[in-house]
Structure 1
Amino acid sequence: MASVMGLLEDRELAARVRVEGLREKADRVLAELAQAETDWQEWLIARQRVDEVLSAPQRSETGVAGRVSVEDSCAPEPEAAAEVLSVGAPAPGAARAGSIVPVWRPALTADVLAVDYQQILSALTERRTDEGGVMTCQEIAVILGLELCPASVEGVRSKMKRLADRGWAAEPAPGRFTLADGPACGS
């Protein structure tokens, strides 16, 4: 028969082995947690830096001339493109191409938007007064004088989604857009 002290020593040894195993596991988890927290902090800092850069006023428009957008891959002939761009020439102090679309509020007018967005809102305004206002991205691309290729239609779709998300336009049905009630009221 085993002694009581021997049984206690066996149980103590088993408990100590379990505690050491759990400590090793906890150390691994804590190390993994520290790495995950570091990654999270780095992503947070990156997002904050990008927010700072995007919210800072642009001093000059140098450096954007070499950039090519998705729409450029199937843009109309240069003469037609000049006509499209001259329709909505930006007012002094207006947003430059590629700028952020602000959330619509009563004090804002379409002048704060880039020319592309102004042209889209103009097309929606004309359609609203003429025919009820709901348009597809293909129809908007045709009005803007863009070639009907997937890249230009997708560019219009992404702009329309952005305008709808920020309150300038509405999407009453998937893929169909109209001018939102706020901007339509003349603000």
Structure 2
Amino acid sequence: MKGIVQSFGGCIELVSGGPDKGACFSLLLPLIEGRTALIKSNVMQPVEGDGAWILLVDDREDVLETYTLILESLNYQVIAAAGGEKAIELFTLHRERIALLVTDVVMPKMSGPALAGELRRMKPELPVIFVSANSFADDQSLVVENSSFIRKPFSIEDISYQIATILNVA
């Protein structure tokens, strides 16, 4: 979590805690106004989206919330699903609108690659961005036609570029 928060220009502070007491932390993130993020990078600027619909899938609610805010700030419509089963249900309802699947690779019950396979049975041309913090996920066997891979934590610039590239927005 620390890496994700820092990649967005934020910080984590310990508020209280101790041995056998648990811990309470405060997360500080830069303010995002409207649809334009005020985060600067020496490498590149975020690529603004075109309003495309993205199905975002992760088994962690905190990650879903954070990534939803980021994608919405880049001008994308986001449908968030906590896991593969929910993603299939939402995809079935919104198949025609969804332009891209962004999914975690490692999730309980159904992996990201398994989910992508199921959704591509319904919509073969669906582009996919696989996301993972695990080092094994660099294995290019995960990346199949019309897909790409990005490692967590990622910057707003990196994810915006990946999405723009796979959707041919840039």
The TM-score range, normalised by the shorter chain, is: under 0.3
CA radius of gyration, larger in: 1
* TM-score (normalised: structure 1): 0.25
More helix by share: 1
More strand by share: 2
* TM-score (normalised: structure 2): 0.26
